Structure 1
Amino acid sequence: MRYLICGVASLALMACDPSMPDSGAGVAERGQGVGFSDYDSYQSYHKEREARLNGTASATTIAAPPAVSGGALSEADSVADSNARIAAAAANSGVAPLNASPSNAAPAIVENARGISGENDFDAVAAQRDIDDDARLIAENRAQYQVVAPEALPTREGSNRPNIVAFALQTTNPVGTALYKRGGFNAEAKYQRACASYASSDLAQEDFLASGGPEKDRKGMDPDGDGFACSWNPAPFRAVRGG
Structure 2
Amino acid sequence: MMHKFCGFVAVAALAACGTSIPESGPNTGAGVGFGNYDEYQARQDAALAGDPVPAPSVVSTTALDGTSESEQIAAQARAALDNDDQVEERAANSGERVVQASPDNAPPAVVNSVGISNENNFDAVGNQRTIEDDAARIAVNRQQYQVAAVEALPSRSGGQGANIVAYALKTKHPVGTQVYRRVGVNKSGRYAKNCAKYTGPDLAQIDFLDKGGPERDRLGLDPDGDGYACGWDPRPFRKAQGG
Is TM (by shorter chain) over 0.5? Answer: no
TM-score by length of 1: 0.36
Larger radius of gyration: 1
